[in-house]
Chain A
Amino acid sequence: MSENTNAVSRRSLLKGAAVGGLGLVAGSTIATSSADAATRLKGSTVRWTTRGGGATGDKIAKAVNDAFAKKTGAKVVAQQVNSDDFQNNFAQIMQGSPDDAFGWMAGYRSNHFGEMGLLADLTREIYRLKGTLPTSAIKGATSPVSKKPYILPTTYYPWALHYRKSMVKEIGMNPEKIDTWDDFIKLMTLTQKKGLVGYSLGAKGGWEAMGTFDILNARINGYKYHIDLLNGRAKWTDAKTKETFKYFAQLIPFMNENVLDISWDGMRDLLLQKKTGAMMMGSWFANDFKAKSQADYDDLWVVPFPEINPKWGIDSIDAPLDGISVAANGKNVAGGKALAQFWASPEGITEAIKAGDTNIYVSKSFDTSSYDSFNKQKLAVLGSAKNIMFFLDRDARGDFAGPVVGPAIQSFIKKPSDINKILESVQAQWDALPKN
């Protein structure tokens, strides 16, 4: 076993040297290497981490990994880990003896660790998948700093306005036409009049409410301002940022009283139990509606957050991109890369969907006509936006999003009138961060 691994690394080293020396004769090198990869992989062990997902997660992983093993003759050893623990200890795990490949998140979370040398450069694999991936996904997976991809993009989902069609009908509105800010306010007002929650929000963990902030800021000040703000090129104390919080404050009277007590699952339950008019959430929770009953799932609907400033329309959306990354310190990096590529390829995707995956894939070569109406609507919502944001905690640096912006939004919800003081503090904390 260990001899085998040695042989692999020696050979890939030689190959790397050869490529470097010859310059890139891209097409032929890649063709030979992928054919070669299969022979090299045979009999080697590749380790895979499933990040959460319970029994369904395991089932999907097994289906894809088995297909990979059958194709290449490699052995795949998989384990499932708690998603939050994996995320929180990511740097330590990657520096220890990590599994070779795993599901991960695009944006700051992969770029940062890739630039630090903990995630493998997947330029070749992206190149091989190029025909199947849209340019936007490739761009999203590529670090703007090093210009290298550290993740192979697979799935994404919209953060958008969710509600139940039956409830909207009950208050006398058309569930297919919640388009404008006025429609949105009317929906919340009428729902609240029935003694229910107009707009449900959770902020127990600090991150849940970031979705509402992101979309308000992008609608009011535009995509560029939002991204600039998250990266220190615009100021939190700017009147434009304050304007966003003015709109945020308008939503508070419609909210549940226990925003700081509930997280995303509380929000999901509010909608599931028909206790709320609308909410901003990532569509992933729809799986739980389906698990409850098909009728609940059919009742669920999603639309883009309404326009506020006509200058921007509805041109931006939070659509976190997920994918597969490869640990640079894994025991079998070549195997990890091959496995990652398989997961992101049409072959792997087909296996995952057969095993019950309800995610939307970025791959162009997947036939979307088999999607149910909710998934088709998700695609339509995603397609309505020109600019894709990844969500605040993936668009901003890790020592700022969670530790600074999260608690700031919580304080704002506790006491909206303190907003100027809160924003000054956020800016001061940004200014105090070590800059490279």
Chain B
Amino acid sequence: MKTATTSKKTRSRRSLSKTDRFTLSAFVGIPTLLQILLLWVPAVVTIVLSFTYWNGIRLTDIRWAGIQNYKTIFLNEPLFYEALKNNGVWLAFFVLVATPLGILLAYQVDRGIKGHAFYESIFYLPVVLSLAVIGIIWNFMLQPGGFVQGLMGLDIGNAISIWGNPDINTWVILGVASWRHIGYIMLLYLSGLKSVDPALKEAAAIDGATEWQIFRKIILPTMKPVNIIIVVITLIESLRAFDLVYIIYGSPTIFPLLNLLVFQNFAGQGLSMKGAAYAVILLVLCIVPIITYLRIVFKEDLK
């Protein structure tokens, strides 16, 4: 078996013409080169810098810090743990509420319930807006002196504290983020559902399967490639959250997120390599679950 595939490979490699080989190496080589140059080099530099003290200005000022930046973050920064909590809640909310809701909506729309075109466009609408724009819109609505507060008859002096109230702001922010995320997931899932052969569903229905059974046993497995994308997107969207909150607050301290802390410690006056350490922590948090998940999925495939 093994030898057979090997010989097959060598044969096919030999059969490539000169032009083919050139085209192939260009197609593989150029993106790889760009990837290395624009992604891997900065990533490695960031990792190295996270072990130094440096204000980013003169190369001669770089000093070795060992693990001091990390020690400071883990031992002395209350914002780090708040950010970790916020990112964690964000992730949990997306995984347990927003993403399932998006899938449910996609399923309902695909089933062709009454007025599905209407729902589809309603839920899809926020997706065309960037999170930054969404931040501007909702900030305008909910801030003191904003539209909603005005409707409630509250002027700026007695406006309810929403963005600044730790009991409420998490849920409002997650609601706003989900407003877009649900539509996004719905769209992705819908495109997958369209490609599921309706004959499969019909056959199952004739065999007496319930709606839930059809969804679980037929749709979900056939949708595997889309499922992978959705899991990865949900993970990444929750961990890299930045723009929405940055637009609303303008600073990372009331509702800290890991990405905001990366930015705060890199930008302008606060420039320090603690920002690099935060970036590395975020990278690890993003990469580890994704790699683990993908490995499990692909291992199942190999079986």
**Chain A residues within CB distance 8 Å of chain B:** 84, 87-92, 95, 108-109, 112-113, 116-118, 196-197, 200, 203-206, 256-263, 266, 269-270, 273, 275-276, 393, 398-399, 401-403, 406-407, 410-411, 414, 425, 428-429, 431-432, 434
B65 interface neighbour in A117, A263, A434, Cβ under 8 Å: A434
Residues B237-290 near A (CB distance < 8 A): 249-251, 253-254, 256, 264-265, 267-272, 274
CB <8 Å contact, A432 and B72: yes
Closest residue of chain A to B161, judged by CB?
Answer: A258
Question: Any chain A CB within 8 A of the CB of B175?
Answer: no
Query: B166 to A109, Cβ gap below 8 A?
Result: no
Return the 3 tightest CB-CB contacts between A and B, nearest first: A260-B164, A398-B269, A275-B157
- Determine if A273 and B250 form an interchain contact, defined as CB atoms under 8 angstroms apart: no
CB-CB under 8 A for A269 and B156, given A90-B268, A399-B265, A399-B270? yes
* Structural contact, A116 and B57, CB atoms closer than 8 A: yes
B78 adjacent to A261 (CB under 8 Å): no
Complex contact B253–A406 (CB within 8 A) = yes
Supposing A273-B157, A275-B155, A398-B269 touch, asked if A261 and B250 sit within 8 A by C-beta, the answer is no
| Also in contact, A91 and B270, with CB within 8 A (given A257-B158, A260-B165, A270-B156) | no
CB-based nearest A residue for B82: A407
1/0 contact string of B134-173 vs chain A (CB within 8 Å): 0000000001110000000001111111111110000000
Shortest distance from the beta carbon of A296 to any chain B beta carbon, whole Å = 16
Instruction: Please tell me which one of the listed residues A205, A263, A276, A434 contacts residue B157 in the complex, with CB atoms under 8 A apart.
Output: A276
Q: How many residues of B contact A (CB 8 A)?
A: 46
Residues of B within 8 A of A (CB): 53, 55-58, 61, 63, 65, 68, 71-72, 75-79, 143-145, 155-166, 249-251, 253-254, 256, 264-265, 267-272, 274
Q: Are B76 and A204 in contact (CB under 8 A)?
A: no
Interfacial chain A residues near B267, Cβ < 8 Å: 88-89
Which of A116, A117, A260: most chain B CB closer than 10 A? A260
- Residue in contact with A398 in the complex, picked from B144, B256, B271, CB distance below 8 Å: B271
Residue of A nearest to B271 (CB): A91
List 20 A-B residue pairs with CB atoms under 8 Å apart, sorted by A's residue number. Answer: A90-B268, A91-B55, A91-B57, A113-B57, A197-B157, A206-B254, A256-B157, A257-B158, A257-B160, A258-B160, A259-B164, A260-B164, A266-B145, A270-B156, A273-B157, A399-B272, A407-B79, A425-B76, A429-B72, A434-B68
Most buried by A among B63, B68, B76, B269: B269
Contacts of A428 in B (CB 8 A): 75-76
- Cβ–Cβ contact B166 & A414, under 8 A: yes
Option from B161, B250, B253, B264 in Cβ contact (under 8 Å) with A257: B161
Cβ A87 vs Cβ B161 within 8 A: no
Inside 8 A of B264's CB, which chain A residues have their CB? 402-403
Tell me the smallest distance from the CB of A409 to a CB of chain B, in Å.
9
Neighbouring B residues of A402 by C-beta, 8 Å = 251, 264, 269-270
Nearest CB on A from B241, distance (A):
19
In whole Å, how far is B171's beta carbon from the nearest beta carbon of chain A?
Answer: 16
CB distance from A74 to the nearest CB of B (A): 29
**Is the Cβ of B249 less than 8 Å from the Cβ of A204?**
yes
Cross-chain contact A403 with B270 (CB below 8 angstroms): yes
- Taking a contact as CB atoms closer than 8 A, the residue among B53, B163, B269 that contacts A260 in the complex is B163
Q: Are A429 and B268 in contact (CB under 8 A)?
A: no
A196, A203, A257, A406 — which one has the most chain B CB atoms within 10 A of its CB?
A: A257
Task: For A256, list chain B residues within 8 Å (CB).
Answer: 157-158
Give the nearest-CB partner of B73 in chain A: A432
Residues of B within 8 A of A398 (CB): 268-271
Report A213 CB to chain B, min CB distance, Å. Answer: 15
A261 engages B164 (CB within 8 Å): yes
CB-nearest residue of chain A to B57 = A116
Cα-based distance from A117 to B163 in the complex (angstroms): 40
Taking CB atoms, residues of chain B closer than 8 Å to A88 are: 267-269
- Nearest chain B CB to A263 CB, angstrom units: 7
- Considering only CB atoms, which chain A residue lies closest to B143 in the complex? A261
Chain A residues contacting B77 (CB-CB under 8 Å) are 429
* Nearest opposing residue in chain A for B156, CB measure: A269
